[in-house]
Each structure stands twice: as C-alpha cells, then as structure tokens.
Structure 1
Amino acid sequence: MSKVTTIIDIGSNSMRMVVLQKSSRFAFNLINETKSRVKISEGCYENNGNLQEIPMQRAYESMKSFLNISKSLKSRKVICVATSALRDAPNSKVFLSRIKKDFGLSIKVIDGEKEAYFGGVAAMNLLHDDSFVTVDIGGGSTEFCFVKDKNIVKSISLNIGTVRMKELFFNKNDIDGAREYIMDNLKKIFELNIEIPDVIVGIGGSIRSVSKIIMQRNEYPLDILHGYKYKVSKEEDFLNEIINAKDNDELKSLGVKKDRFDTIKEGTFIFKTILDELNISKVITSGAGVREGVYLNDLLRTSNCKFPSNFNVSVRSLLDRFQIEPKQSSYMGNNASKIFYALKPMHELDDKYKTFLVIASKLHSIGSTLNFYKSNDNAFDFILNGLSYDFLHTTRVIIAHMIKFSKKSLPSKKDISEYQELLPDIEVMRWLSFMISLNIVSNLDMSRPKIDYILNEETNTLSLKLDNKTFLINSNIEKLELPKEFNLEVL
C-alpha cells in the first residue's frame, strides 16, 4: 500500500473522500477529509431507478475537485467505491464510463453486503467495543454488520435509505406506508437467526447529525463525535421531536443544520424504527465508516482485517509522526509499569489505569515538540483530539489530564471540573498525575537509568534505588507533590 492513499465513496446522498498517510506498517493518520452532498440519486427512484443528468453532473464536478486535492497531497493510490445509487441504476454505466474516460479512474460498484462489511471492519478496528451491530443509513439503503467479540458474524443491506423513503413515501405523506415498508424489510434481519446485540454503532450522515445535536443538548464536555455514546431511553422523545417537526423552522429550533433539512426526518424515522424493532439500548457514534473500512481492508489484508493484538493505531501513529525516540519511549513505558505496581498497595487502582499511565508516559513529550514552552498544555489539547481511534472518550480525557498535570502541582477538583463527567475521582487523578511526574523526573537527563522502586509499607516509604544518582534527578524528585502522606527517598 502506498504511503498516501485516497479513498472516495460515492453514496446516494453524498460523495466523501478521505486521504490517509501511513507512518509505519499498520499506523496511519488522516490528512484530508472532504464531503460533497451531490445527491446523485436525486429523482432516480421516481424514474425507474435511472440516474438523472443534473445530479450526475454535480458528482462529475465534485470528482474532479476530489482528484485535484488527492494529487496536491501526493496521493499515489486512489480507490473509489460506489454504493446503492450506482448499483441500482440501470444507466450507471453512463457515469462510470465518463469518469473512466476523463479521469482514468475505475469506480468499483460494491454490493450491499460488501458495503456493510466495510463499515464493520472500520468499527471493529477503530472503536473500543467488542460486540455490536453497525447501522449505516444512506440515501438508498441501510447496511447492518453484526460484530461479536471483535469478529464479523454477518453483513446485510436493506433498501431503506433516506432519499428512497423520501421519494416513495414522505413526499406523498404516507408515513404508515413508510413504517410498514421498513418493518417488512427488517424481517430479513430476524430471518438471519443470529444473536442481535443491544448496542448499535451508528454510521452515516443522518445518525452522526442526530448524535451531534444530542451532544450539544446535553452540554457534553468533549467536542468529539467518534466514540460518543448515549442511552436510547434518554433520547427517544427528542428523536420523535425531529420526526414530528412541522417545518424547517422547527428543525432549526431543535438544532438541525440547514444542509440536513431535506433528509433528517426520513433518516431519524428509519433510525428510530430500527432502534425500536431491534430493542437497542445504547448507541455509539462512529466517525469512521465505509471509506476507512475500504482502507483497512487493503492495509490489513494479510492479517484477517484486524490490527495485531495490543496494537493501537493512534498511539503508534503519534509516536511515528513526532519521531519519539523508540528507546526512550520503551523505557518510559516500562518504567511506568514498575512505578504503578510498586505503589499499588497504596493507590489500589484498577490495572486499566496502568495502561493509561504507560500510554501517557510514552506520549508526554509531544507537547515539547509542538512548542517547548507550555508543553503540558500543548500536549493536553493535542491528545484530546490526537487519540482518534480505539479509545473511549473517558480514556483520552484521563490520559490528556495526566500529561497536563505532570511535573507540576497535582490537580484540584477545580482543575478537572470542566471534564468531571468523563474523569474518575480526584484522588485517582492525583495518583496518576504523581506517577507520571515521578516517571518523567526519574529520566530527566534521558540516560534511561536502571531504577528499582521499593515500597516499605511498615515505614510508609517509597525508595528509588539508582545505580548512578544524579543531582538533577534527585533535586527534582524532592519537588514532587505527593498524592498522600508518605516518604519518598532516593538511595
């Protein structure tokens, strides 16, 4: 796979492009994301499924712009897939041939099951949950991929997209007909005879738009959609408010953006019907979908479309891009584990916090690379957004705060109040901040000293046994604020 790869997805409602850059064998990062709501399927369901000239021209012009961006970013590989609108249209070859002739690009029209599979691959690798069903509501169809214990069980596509429903039912105000049509299609899910999880991973513009509004209404502290979770029971009334909105002014008052007025009611209606019929209790929003799935299918083709165990693409990508010296990174991670377990009789924290401590210790120097002064604050802002994939929101907020309060006074309740909803108790945060501070100070001269951390519970003393004690390390350890009363000494 080339270092810079472009993935283009032509959907019924929108054309989307991501440009991804590899930094090492399995690590990558996003360098461009572009969307164009070309509505290529507009008018087709009222014309025997045939694509209409004006929507095709919009898609053609957008493709030209997408390829210009891709070329400017020195992309060596372009993969373009098309979904429901083109696979359903009897005249799709007209558009496909024109793109091939004018741009030299072969568009691969994928079937619904493959489209669902790609969404499952993206969610399985880039979200932190093990078992769920992805639901990708598009303009022409809705895809479902069932994932259990990080394995794809089944993929299926149903013809219940927003544009299709709008043209066949909503434009005629036939809501009962729309509901009956959706429920009739959903019977195919139950005929699969597989276990249906009670967690949905929502993919696609309609679900993401709804999730974004819910985040804002709930004054959620983190402005990141990927990985955002909510309980269906808490938001059912709001979903019904969107569905029953009388006009665009009502939609606007609910927080719906102008570019979603045309299909948000249909999308929410489809979504709410699926939630009810499949008895879903929780929704996880995914910022990754078909495009990322296509990319991962190529990147991970020799490993069963899964990242290696204990591999995190976000951490690896940051280590690569910021050129953090591998020996220093490895040392900081190992030392973090030693400190955590030496102090465990005191802090009594769950072992999951050890993992967070290791990651924070490896990544703390990112702030200095961005700008040496205020490096902790720089790292805090970057980490909140930089740990893009396979991290719970709580995890990335904890790691960012650990780094922010390293090598300085430990956090107070006031310091963490903005993100309190996503953080553990202040005592936990003070212990974590102390342990990363101790780790950083122990290697302040970057000599990677051999240190034994010895806790004497009888004397309430943590001893650091160094082969070669230095004044720099010793004097800075003495300045550390402790999370509770105990003795800290350097031997």
Structure 2
Amino acid sequence: MKRIGLIDIGSNTVRLVLFEYTSETGLKELQNIKTPARLARFLDKDNVMAEEGINNLLSILSSFQQISSKYGVEEIHPVATAAIRQSVNVEDILKRAKSEIGMEIKVITGKEEAYYGYHAVVHTISNMDAVTIDIGGGSTELTFFENKELIHSVSLPFGVVTLNTMFFQGKEHNDEEALEKTEKYVKEQLKSVKWLSKRKVPIVAIGGSARNIARIHQSSINYPIAGVHGYSMDRNDLQDVYDLLEGTKADDLDDIDGLSKDRSDIILPSSVVFKSLYDIVKAEEFKFSRKGLREGLAMSIISEGHPAAFNKYHIFRDSLIELSNDFHIQMEEGEKRQQIAERVSHELEKFDFISLDKHEKYLMKNAAHIFSLGSFIDRDASSQHTYYLISNSNINGIVHQDRVRLALLASFKNKTLLHFFAEETGWFGTDDLDSLQSLGSILKFANALNVSHTNIVQDLYLEKTGDGMLLTVKYKGDPIAEEYQTVRQKKHIEKIMDKDLEIRFVEA
C-alpha cells in the first residue's frame, strides 16, 4: 500500500487530493479538498505575485500539510501551474514555501501539464483517438492522441480567470460585447494551433469548469445516474448550457443546479472556449473526464515503483477487477461464473434459442464477474444494492448507457425488478429489455451452477428429448447445493427456450 498527497496549485483554486494505491483495488481517492485562491488575480501588470497572494498560498499549503499528516500520507507532491509559472518572483515564492513550511513546490511547464492530463485520460477513458482540453485559471492545455499515443500538445496563454480579467472587468458576467470579444480572441488562439483543425474526433474535457458544464447539463435534463466521468454532450447540448448561463442574471446564478458558487463569474468564458473548440475540431462528441492533472501525476509517481500498475489498453477490465476486490468477490469465483455463463449461452445458441452479438457477450461476461456484488452489503436486498452501486459507480472505460446495462445484468433477479430498475433511466426499449432479460437469466442460472463457490461444474451440454431439453452437468465434488438451486432457477432458461428443461448431474 502506498499513500501520497498531491497539491494542485492552480490559477483559480488550490486543491489537495490524497491517494491510496494497492495492487488489488488500484488508485483510490481518500480525500479531496479545494479552496478558491484566485492566484492569477494577485499578479500585477508586470507579473509580480503580490505579498497577499503569497501569504494566502502559504496559509493554504500549511493547512493541507496538517490534513495530510493525519491520513498517514508518506509523501506530498505540490505542483504549481500557470499563475506561479508566470510570476516574475517565482523563485522567492518557492524559497518561502521551503523555508516557512518545508514544502518543495514543483513548477511544471505547460507541456508537462498537458501530458499529465493526457496520461490520465488515456488510462480512464476508452476512446482510442481524441483531443483533450484542460482549461484552468491562467492557461489552457490541448493535446491530440491517436491509438492512445500522444501526437501533439500545446499550452495556450489564457484560462477562465485571465479571460474574465481581459474582457469582463467592471461588466456583467453575460455582457454581450465582452462575450463577443472573448469568442473572437479564443478562436484566434485555437486557430493558431494548426494541428487542431477538423480532427473530427471526440473532445475530452478536463478540469473544474468542464465538470461544472456537465453537471449543469445533467441537472437541466434530470439525468438519472451519478457521475460526470465519461458523460457525453453534443454541440446542441453545449449551446443549451451557454444559453442558460447567458440568459441568467448574476444574482440568480447561484440558483442554477450544478454550478459551483466560486465559479459563477467565470463559467461563461469556459463555455465560450468549449463551443469554439467543438466547431474548430468538427468534433464527434464532447466528453468529460473527472481524471486530469492530479490523477495523471499520481499514476506517473505510482508507476515508478509499480511499472505494471496501470494499463491504458485494459481500462474496463482493470476497473471491474478493482470493483470486485472492493466488494470482496474472489477472482476465482468471478471467473468460474464467467466460464459457466459462456457455456450456457453457447449451448443455447447452438440450438438457435438465442443469438448474441459480440457486444452483448462482452457485457454478459463482465456482468458475470460482478454478479450480485450487492450481497456484500445485504444478501436479502442484493439486487437493489447491486443495481444502484454499479449504475452510480465511476467505472472507467465504459459509456454510461453500458454502465446501466451492466448494472441491470449483474442485479438480475426477475423480469419485474429488471423493468423497475430500467424505468429509472428510460433509456431502453422493448427489444433492449428482452435481450437484457435473456442475458440476465443466463447469469442467474450460471450463478446457481456455482452457488457453493466450490467450482464443482466441469462441463455442461444441451440435448433434445422429445418436446423438451436435457441439460447434462458434469461435476467433481458434492453438487447438493447446485442441484437444488438449478432446479429453482431453471424457469429462467425455460422461458428463453419456451420448452421444459430437465437437468441431470453426472459425475465427471
């Protein structure tokens, strides 16, 4: 186990994130605390950080140091971005941090900031190709990656705080002239990045402003599940959020659900940036990553001692394994359930009772691994806990609709409960639900075939017997629990086949 603390000294906020890494459960966030510092506003016209800004920063760092010590953190990594990077008196700031509170602040370059954001995205988002944007208070980082390899990166000299200072000083947050000037300036900056135009790939947005945009949109449409990581919007959605912000008086911004109070005066400039980028890239979608600079840096630090800790090509698989370990599902148990589910589905396909595409098999296999994980909390309410835990968990490498499909499969108990859970999102039609019911039925039956967790089933196969079907199960060990449970659950398979099913256990 390794615990580290990262302090992200941004131009707008300073944030402490405490991470714990184990090989079983991966990288976990233990604590996340932020405070609005607005350091960029303490830079004068000559880029000298004012004494008030330095004292404010040192006070925050001292508090974060005390919090970290209470969590048993082994090492703290304070990193500074644009506001400190641009300060003429940066060396004085670093010396005072070292002498007064014993912290060595690392000032990272714009290129490094862009890299760490990219590094986090490719290890937590499934897209193979994308443009990333991380808009901070004083700078904006852009990257383009292809096949998960970094191709281009750049740091632009503006952020939400600097845009606000440049165009909105003494004006309303939605001043029409200021918005027009902001858009013109932003487009000029983006067009200067020659590798950006017409990439026609998804955009993945990182950072607090991006999360706020996503949360505002989710609130406006009553989005039924939690989390912005992997959440996707299109150009019209971005315009809807912009129109809402632009049409809201300053005094009423606090009433917009999803908007953080400390970002209310700087959220519109970020919305302008996102819309402009979407148009220049000719993007396919606008997706959000909750993982950015801090997670990318943490992964890099952890990887120094654990080179195999993170695999950008097996994101979903690794995320599921970590989820299984969180809820004490044994690897052998999950793998056996996967094996049995695959055999049952194959036998049903042989007789044309079902026809599964590759994606359905993929979801079924992974749902088998975490089937009924909610029993860790309460066995009697396992289905309910399983559905809500999975549908609202941050599972890397999977889109939100498939996350809910996974939750519906892993929680399957019967048709009634499946439809009850599915109504919460309203995302699935009759054909989808019929497919999910068949897959869930296979999983419930597969679970019954290893209910004792003793891996007694060695093989199984179906045969026709008159008007019905015979399932022969070859076993090693004592099948008493499996014999009882499969008889109870065979009705789910009979519904798929529309035939009676006889089950025969034969010693292998």
Q: TM-score, normalised by structure 1?
A: 0.90
Is this contact kept in 2: 1:26–1:307, CA < 8 A? no
2:63 to 49, 65, 69: 65
Distance of 1:333 and 1:28 partners within structure 2:
25
Measure how far apart 1:306 and its partner are: 5.6
SS at match of 1:41: helix
1:34–1:232 distance in 2 versus 1, CA, 3 Å: same
Aligned equivalent of 2:281:
278
Checking the alignment, whether the CA contact within 8 Å between 2:4 and 2:73 is kept in structure 1 is yes
Is 436-445 or 392-401 further displaced after alignment?
392-401
| Aligned equivalent of 1:156 | 154
SS of the equivalent of 1:126 reads: coil
Q: Matches of 2:325 and 2:458 in 1, distance apart?
A: 27
Per the alignment, do residues 66 and 389 of structure 1 end up closer, same or farther by CA in structure 2, a change over 3 Å counting?
A: farther
Match of 1:416 in 2: 422
Shift of 1:490: 1.9
Corresponding letter in the other structure for 2:469: T
Give the whole-Å Cα distance in 1 for the aligned partners of 2:264 and 2:138. Answer: 17
Match of 2:357 in 1: 350
Q: 1:460 to 1:42 in 2, by over 3 A?
A: farther
1:444, distance to aligned residue in structure 2 (A): 1.1
- Residue 472 of structure 1 aligns to which amino acid in structure 2? A
Q: 2:96 — aligned with what?
A: 98
Residue deviations 1:242-275, cap 9 Å, x none? 2454533257458644222221122222222222
What SS is found at the alignment partner of 1:42? Answer: helix
Work out whether residues 411 and 430 of structure 1, in 8 Å CA contact, stay in contact via their aligned partners in 2.
no
For residues 309 and 250 of structure 1, the distance between their equivalents in structure 2, rounded to whole angstroms, comes to 41
Q: Are 2:234 and 1:231 equivalent residues in the alignment? A: yes
Would you say 1:467 and 2:472 are equivalent positions? no
Q: How far did 1:350 drift?
A: 1.8
Please give the residue correspondences for 1:28-39 in structure 2 after superposition, counting only pairs within 5 Å. 28-39=27-38
Matched, 1:263 2:270: no
Where does residue 87 of structure 1 map in the other structure?
A: 85
Q: Does the Cα contact within 8 Å between 1:160 and 1:270 map onto a contact in 2?
A: no
Structure 1 residue 427 displacement after superposition: 0.6
Cα distance change, pair 137–193 in 1 and its aligned pair in 2 (3 A): closer
Distance 2:78 2:343 in 1: 48
User: What pairs with 1:127-146 in structure 2 (closer than 5 Å)?
Assistant: 127-146=125-144
Q: CA deviation at 1:293?
A: 0.7
**Deviations 1:90-135 (Å, cap 9, x if unpaired)?**
1122322222223322111111111111111111110122211111
AA aligned opposite 1:318: L
Q: Where do residues 108-127 of structure 1 align in structure 2 (5 Å cutoff)?
A: 108-127=106-125
For residue 462 of structure 1, report the CA deviation from its aligned partner: 5.8
Determine whether 1:333 maps to 2:338: yes
Q: Whole-Å Cα distance in 2 between the matches of residues 488 and 152 of structure 1?
A: 54
Unaligned runs of 5+ in 2: 172-177
Paired residue for 2:446, among 429, 439, 443? 439
Matched, 1:371 2:378: yes
Q: Which of 422, 436, 439 in structure 2 is aligned with 1:429?
A: 436
Is residue 51 of structure 1 aligned with residue 58 of structure 2?
A: no
Partner SS for 1:448 = coil
Structure 2 vs 1, CA of residues 63 and 385 (structure 1 numbering), >3 Å: closer, same or farther? farther
Give TM-score, length-normalised by structure 2.
Answer: 0.87
Tell me whether 1:13 sits opposite 2:17 in the alignment.
no
Q: Which amino acid aligns with 1:360?
A: A
- 1:388 Cα deviation after fit: 2.9
Aligned counterpart for 2:294 among listed residues 277, 291, 296: 291
Structure 1's 106 and 486: CA in aligned 2 closer, same or farther, altered over 3 A? Answer: farther
Q: Which runs of 5+ in 1 are unaligned?
A: none
Q: Is the 8 A contact 2:135 2:141 kept in 1?
A: yes
CA contact (8 A) 2:213 2:241 kept: no
CA distance in 1, matches of 2:50, 2:297: 27
Structure 2: distance between partners of 1:114 and 1:256: 29
Distance of 2:5 and 2:269 partners within structure 1? 31
1:309/1:144 Cα in 2 relative to 1: closer, same or farther (>3 Å)? closer
1:131-169 CA distances to partner (integer Å, 9 max, x unpaired)?
Answer: 111111111011111121222211111112011111122
**Paired residue type of 2:473:** K
Residue 201 of structure 1: which of 198, 201, 204 is its match?
A: 204
Q: Which moved more, 1:4-13 or 1:453-462?
A: 453-462
Q: How many residues align?
A: 487
Task: Report the aligned-residue RMSD.
Answer: 2.7
For residues 468 and 36 of structure 2, what CA distance do their matches in structure 1 show?
Answer: 64
Give the 3-state SS of the residue equivalent to 1:48 in structure 2.
coil
* Identity across matched positions, percent: 24
Shift in alpha-carbon separation, 1:324–1:369, aligned structure 2, 3 A = same
- Cα drift, residue 26 of structure 1: 8.3
* Distance verdict in 2 for CA 1:273–1:441, change over 3 Å: same
Q: Which letter maps to 1:269?
A: V
Range that drifts further, 5-14 or 272-281: 272-281
